[in-house]
Chain A
Amino acid sequence: MNENDIREKVQRLLKGKVEQYTITRGVNQEYYCSVPQKEASHAIAILARDEFELTCLFCVQNFKETGLSMIHVFEKKNYAQFLILEYTISHRSPKEAESIALLFPSANWYEREITDGFGIRFPKSFDQRRLFLHESYPEEFHPLLKSFRNKKDAAKPSKKRKLQPYPFKPVEGEGVYQIGVGPVHAGIIEPGHFRFSVIGETIANLEIRMFYKHRGIEKFAEGKKPEECVALAEAISGDESIANAVGFCNAVERISGLSVPQRAICLRTIFMELERMYALLGDLAGMVIDVAYPVGASPFFMLREEIFRKNETMTGSRFLRQIICIGGVTKDVAQESLHDLMQCTKIWSEQLKDAVSAVKSLPSVTDRFESTGIIRKTLVRPLHLTGPIAKASGMFRDTRVEHPYGMYTHLPIARKILEKGDVMARFETKAVEILDSAQLIQRILMEIKSSEIKTERSIKDGCALSVVEAVRGQNMHWIQIKDGKVERYKIRTASFCNWLAIEHAVMGNIVPDFPLINKSLNLSYAGTDL
């Protein structure tokens, strides 16, 4: 447990350097530090020097006062709480803010996201291209402003307008050629565009372009009742349904001061770990398939299908959908079913160990896995990489340990990290995670007692931050409720940050290794594009 107090730390840092600031406590594990716009960049620079890490940056309209508020969520090693630094851009001044992307490289995508959503410009930023609004969206269209009423066809592309192609960063030189891949790919996978610049067979540069699946989830949530948004949270990313539903409900429960019954917390944790198991089994299978060894992938696929079926017998849904609700879970799981789960997890673990060692004993597999797609440890904090990817690159990142919630305050999580950062390290890390999840489930099954499964209470107004460890790392939810309706719902999945790592991982590798590297990360497109 991290007992350090982030409030004291920030007060010590800002004292005498920043004139006006106020720090107030939030309802979950966050502190809000409010500063005037003119002092914001100075305060942020101080935090950057002290190795604070940018968890997320987003904008909220009419947060505390009228106007657009920039919300910076920071975390720091060995501190469990988050610091939310916010300032409001006065509605009298131009809609501009200072870019912080040189201090925090991960901020660039956030800033471009804010420009698209709210029309705030970052005049000094090194990259001011549009992000989630592609060519066919009209100019000066900013869907997250309150003045924009969400409706179908509000942004329907006009046929007359001539579209300017997206300006990819040019890479030039003798023998450099481009390979464009996507958005439609050869397999059954989600859409995204990869622009390779290649010399011979070696990748000299990769630029990714995402957001083909932008569905407008954040805007869609606005004005809805929180109960209605649980299904929306489940739809953020198919194999993170439980993690996002729990993340959303945690925030709403904290705002309303609602305590969840113990049995419901246990069941939620079991579901979260089952989700981790089936999703990561798919990653292992995918990596083995991508080195053309389908026989080795079959055991992983078979285990995965067994988990899907177990999910269905327990909850009625293979993806564990419609089981989480605000205040608990929608239905109880039969005791025999839980008893059976105990046996299953033991058998699955043994089968998994066999399958992993069978794959690792083959030189034709290890030759492709080792030294391929290296992600260096130095990238982890600047890009805010989390989850198995960070653990495979020599840094222990796990929200369940760093910012514990629910049962994770006392459950022991495996602390294994690997140093190499290549595909093999990610394969091994993911295998360890699955085994660890199986053990966690067994431990919870020993603790679980019968009790109520849901607390009913009316929902209050307010805002809260909630983070969960999803399959791919840290997912962040920030929710503001006003008059019983969702006023703003910001989601930042682990994939959003982790995607940028792939541009570094492929450097110096050959193009045919790209699918393998991509699979070893297996990030969510839907969860990034929202």
Chain B
Amino acid sequence: MNAISNIFRKKITETLSKEDLETKEAGMQLKKEINTIFGRSLSIREVDAGSDNATEIELVNLTTPHYDAEQYGIAFVASPRHADAIIITGAVTINMAEAVKKVYEATPHPKLVIAVGDDACNGGILKGSYATLGGAEAVLPIDWKIPGNPPSPKEILKGLLALMQSIRDKK
């Protein structure tokens, strides 16, 4: 056993019986974009500013075997210090506004801010409540929106792909 035999050996893995080709294709394209724009990896810090938790569940699902977003270069990181991008979910509540701003400040420049889910995009169902300030735009500059109630993992992947393409087009 040496390094070369490791490469040519048959891989110990099983194919998923219900693989979704559309997701896979979007993922592979996303990987290409991330490779060129971010040098192989896009590190994301997720912040819940007041969601109903459905969007969080779908973001967690991105890391599970059916999607395994890490294979496309996406990593959810534990600290804003390690992040290239912040994902905000939920309409920003008064009680969370301060914490959201601190996360933004703690993330190194240059950084992307992505609003995921209807609530973060435009204030959603609780727009006009005394307790929310509105969508993520109310407290932070937003670079991209991925709408949905909640968006499915596939829609989130496609949204990230569209964001990468828009960055490349600007260059």
Do A and B truly interact? yes
Does B28 reach chain A (CB closer than 8 Å)? no
Contact of B53 among A184, A216, A237 (CB under 8 A): A237
A496 to chain B, nearest CB (A): 15
Asked if B99 contacts A184 (CB within 8 A), the reply is yes
What sequence of 0s and 1s flags, for each residue 90-113 of chain B, a beta carbon within 8 Å of any chain A beta carbon?
Answer: 110111111100110000000000
Contacts of B57 in A (CB 8 A): 238-239, 282, 319
Does B5 reach chain A (CB closer than 8 Å)? no
Contacts of A87 in B (CB 8 A): none
Asked if B76 contacts A302 (CB within 8 A), the reply is no
What sequence of 0s and 1s flags, for each residue 211-239 of chain A, a beta carbon within 8 Å of any chain B beta carbon?
Answer: 11111110110000000000110111111
Asked if A301 contacts B65 (CB within 8 A), the reply is yes
In angstroms, Cα B54 to Cα A143, docked, is 26
Does A160 reach chain B (CB closer than 8 Å)? no
Does B159 reach chain A (CB closer than 8 Å)? no
Segment touching B, from A17-25, A107-115, A148-156 = A148-156
Contacts of A156 in B (CB 8 A): 94, 133
Does B50 reach chain A (CB closer than 8 Å)? yes
Q: A215-B129, A526-B51 are in contact. Are A136 and B94 (CB under 8 A)?
A: yes
Within 8 A of B (CB), among A280-297: 282, 285
Find the A residue at minimum CB distance from B134. Answer: A152
Segment touching B, from A73-81, A188-196, A369-377 = A188-196
What sequence of 0s and 1s flags, for each residue 111-155 of chain B, a beta carbon within 8 Å of any chain A beta carbon?
Answer: 000000000000011111111111000000000000001101000
In angstroms, Cα B171 to Cα A64, docked, is 66
A247 to chain B, nearest CB (A): 15
Within 8 A of A (CB), among B1-37: 18
Asked if B125 contacts A235 (CB within 8 A), the reply is yes
Which of B46, B102, B103 has the most chain A CB atoms closer than 10 A to its own CB?
B46
Contact of A189 among B48, B133, B150 (CB under 8 A): B48
Asked if B60 contacts A215 (CB within 8 A), the reply is no
Does B43 reach chain A (CB closer than 8 Å)? no
Asked if B93 contacts A213 (CB within 8 A), the reply is yes
Name the interface size band of chain A: 35 or more
Asked if B129 contacts A220 (CB within 8 A), the reply is yes
Asked if B60 contacts A188 (CB within 8 A), the reply is yes
Does A298 reach chain B (CB closer than 8 Å)? yes
Does B56 reach chain A (CB closer than 8 Å)? yes
What sequence of 0s and 1s flags, for each residue 515-530 of chain A, a beta carbon within 8 Å of any chain B beta carbon?
Answer: 0000000001110010
Asked if B64 contacts A183 (CB within 8 A), the reply is no
Asked if A214 contacts B61 (CB within 8 A), the reply is no
Find the B residue at minimum CB distance from A231. Answer: B125
Does A134 reach chain B (CB closer than 8 Å)? yes
Identify whether the interface residues of A are mostly helix, strand, loop, or mixed.
loop
Contact of A525 among B53, B59, B99, B150 (CB under 8 A): B53
What sequence of 0s and 1s flags, for each residue 61-92 of chain B, a beta carbon within 8 Å of any chain A beta carbon?
Answer: 10011100000000010110000000000110
Contacts of B134 in A (CB 8 A): 152
Which of B51, B53, B150 has the most chain A CB atoms closer than 10 A to its own CB?
B53
Does B47 reach chain A (CB closer than 8 Å)? yes
Asked if B65 contacts A215 (CB within 8 A), the reply is no
Does A157 reach chain B (CB closer than 8 Å)? yes
Find the B residue at minimum CB distance from A300. Answer: B64
Q: A136-B97, A213-B90, A213-B96 are in contact. Are A319 and B65 (CB under 8 A)?
A: no
Within 8 A of B (CB), among A136-180: 136-137, 143, 148, 150-157
Contacts of A234 in B (CB 8 A): 52
In angstroms, Cα B126 to Cα A220, docked, is 7
Contacts of A152 in B (CB 8 A): 127-130, 132-134
Contact of A137 among B94, B98, B126 (CB under 8 A): B94
In angstroms, Cα B94 to Cα A211, docked, is 10
Asked if A188 contacts B56 (CB within 8 A), the reply is yes
In angstroms, Cα B51 to Cα A188, docked, is 12
B50 to chain A, nearest CB (A): 5
Asked if A302 contacts B65 (CB within 8 A), the reply is yes
Within 8 A of B (CB), among A363-390: none
B93 to chain A, nearest CB (A): 6
Contact of A215 among B47, B93, B97, B152 (CB under 8 A): B93
Does A318 reach chain B (CB closer than 8 Å)? yes
Asked if B54 contacts A155 (CB within 8 A), the reply is no
Q: A188-B59, A235-B126 are in contact. Are A215 and B53 (CB under 8 A)?
A: no
In angstroms, Cα B73 to Cα A232, docked, is 36
Does A187 reach chain B (CB closer than 8 Å)? yes
Contacts of B149 in A (CB 8 A): 321
Find the A residue at minimum CB distance from B61. Answer: A305
Q: A152-B129, A215-B129 are in contact. Are A189 and B64 (CB under 8 A)?
A: no
B91 to chain A, nearest CB (A): 7
Asked if A238 contacts B129 (CB within 8 A), the reply is no
Asked if A216 contacts B150 (CB within 8 A), the reply is no
Asked if A215 contacts B132 (CB within 8 A), the reply is yes
Asked if B103 contacts A184 (CB within 8 A), the reply is yes
Does A186 reach chain B (CB closer than 8 Å)? yes
In angstroms, Cα B44 to Cα A502, docked, is 30
Does A393 reach chain B (CB closer than 8 Å)? no
Q: A213-B96, A215-B91 are in contact. Are A190 and B48 (CB under 8 A)?
A: yes
Find the A residue at minimum CB distance from B51. Answer: A526
Contact of B56 among A150, A190, A285, A301 (CB under 8 A): A190
Asked if B78 contacts A186 (CB within 8 A), the reply is yes
In angstroms, Cα B103 to Cα A212, docked, is 15
Asked if A191 contacts B54 (CB within 8 A), the reply is no
In angstroms, Cα B51 to Cα A184, docked, is 13
Within 8 A of B (CB), among A45-93: none
Contacts of B94 in A (CB 8 A): 134, 136-137, 155-157, 214
**Given A152-B134, A156-B94: 10 more A-B contacts, CB < 8 Å:** A184-B102, A189-B48, A191-B96, A191-B99, A216-B130, A219-B130, A236-B52, A241-B54, A301-B61, A301-B65
> Which residues of chain B have a CB within 8 Å of any CB of chain A?
18, 46-48, 50-61, 64-66, 76, 78-79, 90-91, 93-99, 102-103, 124-134, 149-150, 152
19 contacts between A and B (CB under 8 A): A136-B94, A136-B98, A152-B128, A152-B130, A187-B78, A188-B76, A190-B51, A212-B96, A213-B90, A216-B129, A217-B129, A234-B52, A238-B54, A298-B64, A301-B64, A301-B65, A305-B66, A526-B51, A526-B53
Closest 9 CB pairs of A and B: A238-B54, A216-B131, A186-B78, A301-B64, A238-B53, A216-B129, A154-B130, A134-B95, A305-B66
